[in-house]
Amino acid sequence: MPSFDIVSKIDPQTLDNAVNTTKKEILNRFDFKDSPVSIELNKKEMKIELEAASDMKIKQITDVLISRSIKQGLDPLAYDLGKEAYPSGKVTRKEVPVRNGLKQEDAKKIVKLIKDSGLKVQAAIMDDLVRVTGKKLDELQAVIQRCKSAGLEIPLQFDNMRN
């Protein structure tokens, strides 16, 4: 029976490459000369710590990070940009958590979306992925299109397609 998995995973090496290219670009920019800038990736906690002279510069770093991530093939939805930057002494800091793995409530939203579609497929939550099985490949592809167009604000990948 055909099946596939819906996952939300970020490749750590690709993320590291995006952060490193962001660092290089920011350090070479004229508007960041002689200002304190720090961009660090914490791989264990999957968060990026930004530090700059002002809130405006933090926003510029974030924009560069997103554009570099897109060029590396990362979904910009992987970054949780909801937290505001906070002043810390002479600099402004911001922590940007990276979403890695499907949370339980997100998996439930995906299963509900699939069940509401009326397609003859089964969706099951397995740890941090949703496995979708069905009799026809066309129905599975319809599920993929529905998930892509739903606007769930989650970076989704579709893996392990089996026939």
pTM, to two decimals: 0.83
Residues of CATH 3.30.70.860 domain(s) within the chain?
3-8+101-162
Judged by DSSP in three states, 81 sits in: coil
- Around Cβ 79, how many Cβ atoms within 10 Å? 21
pLDDT above 90 (res 40): yes
Q: What is the pLDDT of residue 163?
A: 81
pLDDT category at 34 given cuts 50, 70, 90 is confident
The 8-class DSSP code of residue 2 comes to: -
Which residues, in sequence order, are CB contacts of 1 under 8 Å at separation 6+? 133, 134, 135
Q: Which of 7, 11, 44 is nearest to 128 (CA)?
A: 7
What residues are paired with 125 via a beta bridge?
130
What residues are paired with 37 via a beta bridge?
none
Domain 3-8+101-162 class, CATH top level = alpha beta
Q: Are 31 and 51 in contact (CB under 8 A)?
A: no
> Would you state the CATH architecture of domain 12-97?
2-Layer Sandwich (3.30)
Tokens at residue 34, please? 């002689």
What residues are paired with 38 via a beta bridge?
51
Q: What is the pLDDT of residue 31?
A: 87
Tokens at residue 97, please? 């958590």
52-79 pLDDT, tens per residue?
998 999 999 999 999 999 999 999 989 9
Q: Are 106 and 8 in contact (CB under 8 A)?
A: yes
pLDDT above 90 (res 47): yes
Residues of CATH 3.30.70.990 domain(s) within the chain?
12-97
